[in-house]
C-alpha cells in the first residue's frame, strides 16, 4: 500500500496477508482525490473514514493536510495495522477507533468536514449508509460525504447528491450538505 501525495507521499507499507479488506485501487484513489481537492480544501479539515480497512484513505487525507483524521474499523487486524502505521509516522492527528461503524454513527455528536465511507460491497445494510450519515450528528453545513460502492448502487435520488464518479469497477457518490 502506498500514499500517493502530500507530506507522506510515496511512502509504502506492507499490508499483512491476513487482512480481509478490499483496498481502494491506487488508480481510483488518485482520481477521487483529484476530484475532492478540486471541490474542497483538505488542509485543516476534520475527516472521518468509516470502514477504514487498511487505512489507505485515512492516510491519504492525513498526508494531504487534514488537521484530524478519525478511522473507524471493526476488524482488529485492520485497526491494529492502521495503529502501527500511525506509530511509524508519529502523527497524532490520526485517531483509530476499533468499533462498529453503525454504533459510531448513532452515538457520535462531533461533526466532520469530510466523511468517507467504504463499506464492504456485500454488507447487508450498505444501501442505508448514506442516509444514516446524512441524518446523524456527523454532518454540518458544507460537509462533503463520499461513498465508495459498486455499480450495483445508484444514490443519485438521495437528498444532497452532488455527483457520481466511476473508475473501472470502483464507483463514488459524492454528497454536499448545503451551506445554509
Q: What confidence tens digit (pLDDT) does each residue in 48-103 have? A: 999 999 999 999 999 999 999 999 999 999 999 999 999 999 999 999 999 999 99
Domain boundaries, the chain: 43-176
- Position 21 scores a pLDDT of 79
- Position 109 scores a pLDDT of 95
Q: What confidence tens digit (pLDDT) does each residue in 2-30 have? A: 999 999 998 999 888 888 777 788 899 99
Distance (Å, whole) CA 94 – CA 104: 17
Length of the chain: 180
Distance set, CA 100 to CA 56, 80, 94, 104, 119 (Å)? 19, 15, 18, 6, 12
- Position 6 scores a pLDDT of 94
Q: Is the pLDDT of residue 104 over 80?
A: yes
- Position 126 scores a pLDDT of 96
Superfamily for domain range 43-176: Vaccinia Virus protein VP39 (3.40.50.150)
DSSP 89-105: HT-TTEEEEES-HHHHH
Amino acid at each position: 500500500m502506498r500514499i500517493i501525495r502530500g507530506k507522506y507521499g510515496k511512502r509504502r507499507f506492507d499490508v499483512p496477508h491476513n487482512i480481509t479488506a478490499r483496498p481502494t485501487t491506487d488508480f481510483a484513489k488518485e482520481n477521487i482525490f483529484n476530484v475532492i481537492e478540486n471541490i474542497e480544501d483538505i488542509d485543516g479539515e476534520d475527516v472521518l473514514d468509516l470502514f477504514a480497512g487498511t487505512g489507505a484513505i485515512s492516510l491519504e487525507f492525513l498526508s494531504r493536510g487534514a488537521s484530524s483524521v478519525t478511522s473507524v474499523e471493526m476488524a482488529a487486524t485492520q485497526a491494529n495495522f492502521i495503529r502501527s502505521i500511525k506509530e511509524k509516522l508519529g502523527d497524532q492527528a490520526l485517531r483509530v477507533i476499533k468499533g462498529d461503524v453503525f454504533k459510531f454513527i448513532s452515538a457520535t455528536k462531533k461533526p466532520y468536514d469530510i466523511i468517507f465511507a467504504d463499506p464492504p460491497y456485500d454488507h447487508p445494510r450498505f444501501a442505508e449508509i448514506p442516509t444514516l450519515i446524512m441524518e446523524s450528528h456527523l454532518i454540518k453545513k458544507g460537509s462533503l460525504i463520499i461513498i465508495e460502492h459498486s455499480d450495483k448502487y445508484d444514490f443519485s435520488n438521495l437528498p444532497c447528491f452532488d455527483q457520481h464518479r466511476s473508475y473501472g469497477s470502483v464507483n463514488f457518490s459524492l454528497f454536499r450538505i448545503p451551506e445554509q
